[in-house]
A and B are shown apart, each in its own frame.
Chain A
Amino acid sequence: MKPAWFDYHAPDNLEDALVLLGDAGIDGRVLAGGQSLMPMLNMRIVTPSVLVDINQIASLNSLQAGPDELRVGALVRHADLMRNPAVREGWPLLAEASNQIAHRTIRNRGTVCGSIAHNDPAAEHPSLLVTLDGTVVAASAGGRREIPAEDFFDGMMSTSLEPGEMVVEVRYPRPRKGACFGFAEFARRLGDFAIAGAAVMATMNGGVCEQARLTIIGMGDGPFRARAAETVLAGSTLDAVAITAAADEVRSAVDPGEDVHGSSSYRRHLAGVMTERALEQAMTRARGDGNG
């Protein structure tokens, strides 16, 4: 179980990295935390001929929580994100959900942007980005572009990144006042990829949900935005009836794949249960401090 040959580059600035990636085209891969790429290399599931290791590019190791948004550079590790006080305070959904991502040692290396670029359908970050209405900043030798989360993910382990392009940063707008979060996921063991999960951000005003963003994890095609359920929730008080109705909408909307951890019908069922649990959390928080 040893990787096939590749050419290895470890540029110390972004410009060089982008040139190398541009030259390599579809044969090139970014090496970030390596927590998903290295297993695939070891197993020879992927055999890129060029690896561009971005770990030496100090400018990518930047985590900034501003008044309007949170900017997470391509070298920010899961561990950095979940421990950052400004993130815990302003984007508690990110910090909380991170605890379900793998284990401490893997979180020490794995990056947020790597998760997003990898788009494993059972991973948390792609769905969190959609829930929080974030944006991906992609760069190539030809320039930069900003891609709204929902346009970025396009199918199982696939994104709208072009060959030669990489994620340099992801941005999360600061949640509006009154935003309440809920996150629930089910996996066989803590740290395993989710069989199903749900992330919700509900914006409450005077006890009424103005808007909800609800994303389901683990359904096979990357983040699944549950729009029908969101419609049901908008205008409700996140009461039991609304929650049940939202969960029903989720169950009828999702079309999960299956693997050794769960059949399609089990995943569909769980999607409903996780929706209920995430919404109950959000509701509890809404009734508590209305912020959290």
Chain B
Amino acid sequence: MADTRFVNQKMVGTSVVPDEAIPLVEGEGRFLNDIRLPGMYHAAFLRSQHAHARILSIDAGAARQMPGVIQVMTGKEMLGKVDPFESMPNRFSGGQSTQHWLAVEKVRFVGEAVCVVVAEDRAIAEDAIDLIEVEYDPLPAVTDPRLGEKDDAPLVHETCPNNYLIKRDYERGNVDEAFEKAHLVVKRAFSIGRKQALCLEGRGCVAAYRESAFTLTMWMSHQLPYVVRHYLAKHLRLGEHEVRVIAPHTGGGFGQKASIYPEEFVCAHLALGLRRPVKWVEDRLENMVASTHARDQQIELAAAVDDQGRILALDSNVWVDVGAYSTYLWSAGMEPLQTAGLMPGPYQIEALRYVTRGVATNKTPVGPYRAVGRPSASASLELLIDDAARRLDIDPVEMRLRNLIPGEKMPYRNANNLVHDNVNYVPCLKLTAAKAEYDKLRAEQAQASDNGKLRGIGVACFAELTGLGTSTAVGPGTLLQPGRDAVTLRLETTGVLTIAAALPSQGQRIMTAMTQVAADELGIKLSDITGLTNDTAMAPYGFGTFASRTAVFGSGAVIKAARELRRRILALAAHLMEVPETDLTIVDSVVQTVDRAKTMTLREMTDQSYFSAKHIPEDLNPGFEVTSFYDPKFGSFAAGAHTVVVDVDPQTGHVEIVRYVAAEDVGTIINPAVVEGQIIGGIAQGIGEALMEELVYDADGQPKTVTLADYTIPSALEIPTIELHHANTPSAALGGFKGCGEGSIIGAVGAVACAVADALNRNGGDITAFPATPERVLTGLGVLPTDS
């Protein structure tokens, strides 16, 4: 059962104002682009303008001659010196891709790096890029996964027949029988466009040779410093101990900065050769085509339903347009496997079948982005549930209540083989419905509106597997199967506690959370705790920040280390204070007997232990440093249910969100305000995903959304006030924590999609393609012709 005891709980559960944020609010953050080393050069990349072409020749003569240019390098010149990114065979069908850091022979998407220029400053490097002439022989481009999988389609990689980078068939339970005996079979098509994580800060690096004790020091805007270290060493043929990776302040990650990309590795290679620091900062035009995209799924989903509205089986077909390469580390399997495999979400599904494919196309590779796969999986199922509820004349909320996994059935193993336990699906749904006054909303909806708008109500439930431990694979086919993460706690000579962990924050205030947990476990004042993070030279081993794992791993490791550290502190204090250990406790950084008769500050104690060590018996170690690894083994489900009310303008197709009520189960909360920020931030991204954001390509593979004016993310005006409520239950992980970084985006996409569809359905229309842009909404209402 959940271990939720703290030695001295005061801070966990409090909205502690994060010290971490002070430099940021004062303009003194240190982001990647703020790092400047003496003698530093700047890199820029020549990128393919073609979706698919053979490179015939590259003439960089004029660029090499330009004053201020230090070096120009092509892919061919790098061949044999470094090892390209090879995707890993997985146990399903599909071929493998090899991605050279700079294209050799062929380019496979617009934006693929072809040449690099190193110059004295960025503007000069860009001048030189303009002088390089590349001759291409254009090849037919694959831009649609449904055409790309046909036998006669051109191939993105000769190694991938039918352009499959992955294809998986899955069946569990008796699907055919369920469909035969079903009272009702509902089917639905669903598609969602390509997305961009759109971190406000792009990627970037400063690669430096012998900057410190390491051969290569790499500052990189990245979520996984140790993982980067591992792969830099591997591909540059260095020892891992020769590489130091530092993740400075990072302007958003959302998964986009959890992949490994060629550009930073090219810079590292060049810096080692030039023996000078090389900086590359991805600008927005690059970011739109060179950093991973996301989603881009087409789903055909069918459900067998009995006369009570109980779902008996799900059967789906999924196509994901995964782009030109199997994204390094995570592979092309991410979206296809998670979309299809996690389709059952929080519902009791006994029989499941799917065929899912990741089809290579001549577009930017698809990689992880907040809640990989699940927003589409969830939205398509939620829409299907609404269809079934309508056909059976059951209220949509009631239909969900009949299908959610109830607490009394837990632990419950779903047809996708995941075990659900300690999670409040039903309470979340009941809470959002109660807070939103759902019945009243429906009653109001039934009355004719007087503003000319079409009202829609959407309710969606979701499950979010967080904090995956070693027993739950992140995904088959990924190179990275994370293990345990460590935290080091060190009581400094000053009695101050330092927490070190390789769990970078992109705004999640991870260090603040760990500080709060440590304070409660140890009885140390918050003001006596500092944090070190993000630097492989200072933090113990860890896999970094992704997949809503960090709070679970970091806090769990803090608890383990703190318990050991506390034991050591008390042992020494008992000796120094001449009382039995069992009489001692620590309160507000003071070791004291339970009756407070004797006290000793931690400062006094560390003073003695470090500086008067001769009084200390040999078996009582003067150093107070503990490193603990933590593994929650299994993941824990977080959950939520969102209610959304929209008004659709039937003349323009504009969708306005008039009310948003979310109920979430995120386990034991460490810092409520931080959690609220994560949830609301995720909802905002989900609203953008459902209504606004889409990367568009034309049939030749040319990207049409290359600026922030083309790819529209929500501003403060598109996001309503979010009403947030909690129905938390502790997880089985140490501390009872769950992750909360991703879940809410799932609920938002589903609930908004259902609300729009509801408004349309009640007016004789429907919508199957998302985002629900104004134009798609009008098409769905029959106001515009379908082929527009």
* One of A68-76, A108-116, A186-194, A218-226 contacting the partner: A186-194
* One of B229-237, B624-632, B778-786 contacting the partner: B778-786
* One of B315-323, B355-363, B702-710 contacting the partner: B702-710
Residues A43 and B652 in contact, CB atoms below 8 Å apart = no
Distance from A191 Cβ to chain B, minimum over Cβ atoms (Å): 8
**Closest residue to B704 on the A side, CB-wise?**
A260
Chain A residues closer than 8 Å to B696, beta-carbon distance: 260
Tell me the bound Cα distance from A264 to B774 in angstroms: 14
Residues A269 and B709 in contact, CB atoms below 8 Å apart = no
- Interface residues in A148-194 (C-beta closer than 8 Å to B): 186, 188-193
**Closest residue to A272 on the B side, CB-wise?**
B651
Residues A186 and B784 in contact, CB atoms below 8 Å apart = no
Given contacts A44-B130, A193-B709, contact A265 B652 (CB under 8 A): no
Tell me the bound Cα distance from A151 to B360 in angstroms: 51
Given contacts A186-B652, A266-B778, contact A192 B712 (CB under 8 A): yes
**Closest residue to A270 on the B side, CB-wise?**
B652
* A243 interfacial by beta-carbon distance below 8 Å: no
* A273 interfacial by beta-carbon distance below 8 Å: yes
Give A189-231 as 1s and 0s: 1 = Cβ < 8 Å from B's Cβ atoms: 1111101000000000000000000000000000000000000
* B126 interfacial by beta-carbon distance below 8 Å: yes
* B718 interfacial by beta-carbon distance below 8 Å: yes
Give B669-705 as 1s and 0s: 1 = Cβ < 8 Å from A's Cβ atoms: 0000000000000000000000010101000000011
Tell me the bound Cα distance from A43 to B707 in angstroms: 10
Residues B123 and A3 in contact, CB atoms below 8 Å apart = yes
Give B741-785 as 1s and 0s: 1 = Cβ < 8 Å from A's Cβ atoms: 000000000000000000000000000000001110010000111
- Interface residues in A234-292 (C-beta closer than 8 Å to B): 259-266, 269-270, 273
Residues B718 and A189 in contact, CB atoms below 8 Å apart = yes
Residues B709 and A192 in contact, CB atoms below 8 Å apart = yes
Chain A residues closer than 8 Å to B283, beta-carbon distance: 1
Distance from A121 Cβ to chain B, minimum over Cβ atoms (Å): 14
Interface size on B, residues (CB 8 A): 33
Chain B residues closer than 8 Å to A44, beta-carbon distance: 126, 130
Residues B775 and A262 in contact, CB atoms below 8 Å apart = yes
Tell me the bound Cα distance from A3 to B705 in angstroms: 21
**Closest residue to A258 on the B side, CB-wise?**
B788
Distance from A110 Cβ to chain B, minimum over Cβ atoms (Å): 14
Give B633-672 as 1s and 0s: 1 = Cβ < 8 Å from A's Cβ atoms: 0000000000000000001111000000000000000000
**Closest residue to B696 on the A side, CB-wise?**
A260
Tell me the bound Cα distance from A263 to B774 in angstroms: 11
Tell me the bound Cα distance from A188 to B718 in angstroms: 9
Q: Which of A39, A260, A263 contacts B710 (CB 8 A)?
A: A260
Chain A residues closer than 8 Å to B652, beta-carbon distance: 186, 270, 273
**Closest residue to B652 on the A side, CB-wise?**
A186
Q: Which of A43, A188, A265, A273 contacts B651 (CB 8 A)?
A: A273
**Closest residue to B691 on the A side, CB-wise?**
A188
Chain A residues closer than 8 Å to B704, beta-carbon distance: 259-260
* B120 interfacial by beta-carbon distance below 8 Å: no
**Closest residue to A266 on the B side, CB-wise?**
B775
Tell me the bound Cα distance from A265 to B653 in angstroms: 13
Chain B residues closer than 8 Å to A191, beta-carbon distance: 715
Residues A4 and B127 in contact, CB atoms below 8 Å apart = yes
Distance from A46 Cβ to chain B, minimum over Cβ atoms (Å): 13
Chain B residues closer than 8 Å to A2, beta-carbon distance: 122-123, 126
Q: Which of A43, A259, A265, A273 contacts B785 (CB 8 A)?
A: A265
* B284 interfacial by beta-carbon distance below 8 Å: yes
- Interface residues in B282-315 (C-beta closer than 8 Å to A): 283-285
Given contacts A266-B778, A270-B652, contact A190 B285 (CB under 8 A): no
Distance from A279 Cβ to chain B, minimum over Cβ atoms (Å): 14
Tell me the bound Cα distance from A195 to B651 in angstroms: 14
Residues A269 and B778 in contact, CB atoms below 8 Å apart = yes
Q: Which of A189, A193, A266, A273 contacts B788 (CB 8 A)?
A: A266
Distance from A106 Cβ to chain B, minimum over Cβ atoms (Å): 12
Residues A269 and B784 in contact, CB atoms below 8 Å apart = yes
Chain B residues closer than 8 Å to A262, beta-carbon distance: 774-775
* B446 interfacial by beta-carbon distance below 8 Å: no
Tell me the bound Cα distance from A264 to B712 in angstroms: 19
> By CB atoms of chain B within 10 A, which of A2, A44, A186, A273 has the most?
A2
Residues A188 and B712 in contact, CB atoms below 8 Å apart = yes
* B717 interfacial by beta-carbon distance below 8 Å: yes
Residues A260 and B654 in contact, CB atoms below 8 Å apart = no
Chain B residues closer than 8 Å to A273, beta-carbon distance: 651-652
Residues B778 and A189 in contact, CB atoms below 8 Å apart = no
**Closest residue to B286 on the A side, CB-wise?**
A1
Tell me the bound Cα distance from A192 to B127 in angstroms: 31
Tell me the bound Cα distance from A262 to B709 in angstroms: 13
Distance from A134 Cβ to chain B, minimum over Cβ atoms (Å): 27
Distance from A187 Cβ to chain B, minimum over Cβ atoms (Å): 9
**Closest residue to B712 on the A side, CB-wise?**
A188
Residues B712 and A263 in contact, CB atoms below 8 Å apart = no
Chain B residues closer than 8 Å to A269, beta-carbon distance: 778, 783-784
Tell me the bound Cα distance from A2 to B126 in angstroms: 7
Chain A residues closer than 8 Å to B126, beta-carbon distance: 1-2, 4, 44
Chain B residues closer than 8 Å to A193, beta-carbon distance: 709
Tell me the bound Cα distance from A189 to B773 in angstroms: 12
**Closest residue to B710 on the A side, CB-wise?**
A260
**Closest residue to B776 on the A side, CB-wise?**
A266
- Interface residues in B575-592 (C-beta closer than 8 Å to A): none
Chain A residues closer than 8 Å to B784, beta-carbon distance: 265-266, 269
Q: Which of A39, A190, A195, A270 contacts B717 (CB 8 A)?
A: A190
Residues B788 and A263 in contact, CB atoms below 8 Å apart = yes
Distance from A281 Cβ to chain B, minimum over Cβ atoms (Å): 15
**Closest residue to A3 on the B side, CB-wise?**
B123
Give A43-56 as 1s and 0s: 1 = Cβ < 8 Å from B's Cβ atoms: 11000000000000
Distance from A195 Cβ to chain B, minimum over Cβ atoms (Å): 8
Chain B residues closer than 8 Å to A189, beta-carbon distance: 712, 714-715, 717-718
Tell me the bound Cα distance from A4 to B774 in angstroms: 38
Tell me the bound Cα distance from A273 to B784 in angstroms: 13
Residues A260 and B788 in contact, CB atoms below 8 Å apart = no
Tell me the bound Cα distance from A259 to B709 in angstroms: 12
**Closest residue to B282 on the A side, CB-wise?**
A1
Chain A residues closer than 8 Å to B694, beta-carbon distance: 260
Tell me the bound Cα distance from A44 to B123 in angstroms: 11
Q: Interface on A for B, CB 8 Å cutoff?
A: 1-5, 39, 43-44, 186, 188-193, 195, 259-266, 269-270, 273
9 nearest CB pairs, A to B: A2-B123, A1-B283, A265-B788, A266-B775, A273-B651, A263-B788, A260-B696, A260-B704, A188-B712
New A-B pairs, 4, CB < 8 Å, besides A2-B126, A270-B652: A1-B285, A188-B773, A190-B715, A191-B715
A-B contacts, 21 of them at CB < 8 A, read A1-B283, A1-B284, A1-B285, A2-B122, A2-B126, A3-B123, A4-B126, A44-B126, A186-B654, A188-B773, A188-B774, A192-B709, A260-B704, A260-B705, A261-B710, A264-B788, A265-B785, A265-B788, A266-B653, A266-B775, A266-B784
